[in-house]
A = this chain, B = another copy of it.
């Protein structure tokens, strides 16, 4: 049934810079190709082949060329995951006979001792009826190829197999990162380990470890122990643990870039060392989210001496070539109020706080250089004297990045990848470090190194962080690895669903903690109606949660908003069905039964929730949501009755229902419904039934969609 024609994706790359009709045809092929396979990120070049390599319990692996412990451990991990997935016991250890092995992994050299931005991650993979051959110049390339191999595994009645394929793959960008902020909430080592495994699975290669914040100083300093002892509530990483994580990351070809955010975001530093601050103190660990005043004092030599000592210590602990110094969101209020600092500025001819921070960064840069590190920081560090080997991490956007590139600075994009803002994967997927309309020359474009998803930690606990990172970050990983032309959102979601299940093999809890958190809320295994509600809700976007549901960093993260996930599958499925139904005008049969069942489930779940919520004070905030859900179900069901009977409702009905839906659109308990736009479409469609007689179904559907869109309501 499945078609296996050789389709060359590579061609796409050639044409990638313009959007001509020819490209559209190629994209159709591309979509077919990715439909055929379940790879994420999609490789640079995939050529389908006839044939298949069965995976039986004799499936053995041999290495050829260079081989080391890292490669062997990587093979062993892949085989263990493969065994777990297919339920077979495969031969243990490596085969000695290359020709008889099912998989041959051929590597050229070890890769860099300290993983770097120059690492060669390319590989080629060829699967025939006889053998799978993975060839890579470095062990890191081989590790990337092994992850692709595992994603290739398919099955049918005859068993598991690898399909015939030729893959040539390398990343579009060399810097593909995930920032994890442990300043706001500490995350134990196992969170890092399973997330590093997941990063490797989708070919991310930089863990950006945001280690210090107003709310916590999370790394042990032997030189200045009051930093971690007084600034962390005892929740910090020992240097041995840091080394353990760095080694774990390197095993997977992943860099670890530490961030010490200064001069702002530094309250936790000042708890133990108030003399570094720009106001006298004393300081306490900050418990709230936000931007705070404390900042290091750039006018005092003692501060630079301290930083020299501390960053020197960290420079030997973290082997990566880069050290991130933050630099963001310092409003300089403490500076304004400090007469000594003001005198210092006058004396040095520093005209404003902006320039003062530039001065601070200059001094900082010398310290980093002394300790052999290159500087990376947020947009704010881009000052006239910044040396050309610094890297700008942009929360502002591709334009800021392009501007930096034109001035010769390397940069990485984070705007668009702020996964803590709870946007759907599709939105992140569209963000591109070098968008199609970029005016950068190819030389300038080389300065755009890649991007990083940012998991800011205000509202994540060890129980919820996985569901905030995954599976959405896999879509970002694809954006950073795959050709720009791989951009079919629907197919991305199809593959994301598969990859999401595979990520669970690594111990991630993004899927399984959903029900667990609901069980805790109701104190019982029976979560049926609550799960129905939670599955169509999403936490509020942007930074609205803090306003709607005030909390400190010490508050529990176990509410309904913490169980709900950023990108409702159920709502997306419902939207697809409604779209199909409206395309089926004037019959309105397509998906009609499923839509009715879903609406009925919502109506009933909403009603069933009422007594449950009464018994669970932790759910009281969800009471209006239950009513919204129920009435959205009713509105949809009524609309469906009109549509199927071909009878237009009164305008009173229309107005009452839309008003009710408007009410349901308002976020409550820091949650919002992801289904209201689709229900609105049904209501508008019913109300517009009469129009259907005087226009084409396609025109009519367009009209309904326009009328239903929030902008025109």
A contacts, CB < 8 Å to B: 80, 83-89, 92, 155-160, 190, 497-498, 500-502, 504-505, 509, 511-513, 515-516, 519-521, 523-525, 551-552, 554-556, 558-559, 569, 614-618
Contact = CB atoms under 8 A, between A and B. Distances in A.
A498 B523 contact: yes
B524 A497 contact: yes
Given A501-B520, A504-B516, 18 more contacts: A83-B556, A85-B523, A87-B521, A87-B558, A87-B618, A89-B554, A92-B554, A156-B617, A158-B617, A160-B618, A498-B524, A500-B525, A501-B519, A501-B523, A511-B516, A511-B519, A512-B516, A525-B569
Contact of A84 (B156, B158, B500, B520): B520
A614 B156 CA distance: 7
A498 B526 CA distance: 11
A49 B92 CA distance: 63
Nearest to A155: B617
A89 B555 contact: yes
A498 to B, nearest CB: 7
A89 B500 contact: no
Contact of A556 (B89, B190, B558): B89
A617 to B, nearest CB: 5
Given A556-B84, A556-B89, A497 B515 contact: no
Given A157-B614, A555-B89, A525 B501 contact: yes
26 contacts: A83-B556, A83-B558, A84-B556, A85-B523, A85-B558, A85-B618, A87-B521, A87-B559, A87-B617, A87-B618, A88-B556, A89-B551, A89-B554, A89-B556, A92-B554, A157-B615, A157-B617, A159-B617, A498-B523, A501-B525, A504-B516, A504-B520, A505-B520, A509-B512, A512-B516, A515-B515
Given A519-B504, A519-B511, A520-B504, A89 B497 contact: no
Contacts of A614: 156-157
Contact of A616 (B155, B190, B511, B512): B155
A508 to B, nearest CB: 10
Contacts of A569: 525
A513 B509 CA distance: 10
Contacts of A158: 617
Nearest to A526: B497
Contacts of A85: 520, 523, 558, 618
Contact of A512 (B500, B515, B559): B515
A525 B514 CA distance: 13
B511 A84 contact: no
Contacts of A92: 554
B558 A89 contact: no
Name the residue in A501, A511, A615 with the highest tally of chain B Cβ atoms < 10 Å from its Cβ.
Answer: A501
A156 B611 CA distance: 10
Contacts of A83: 555-556, 558
A190 B511 CA distance: 20
A501 B92 CA distance: 38
A56 to B, nearest CB: 10
5 closest Cβ pairs, A-B complex: A87-B618, A512-B512, A89-B555, A83-B556, A84-B558
Contacts of A618: 85-87, 155, 160
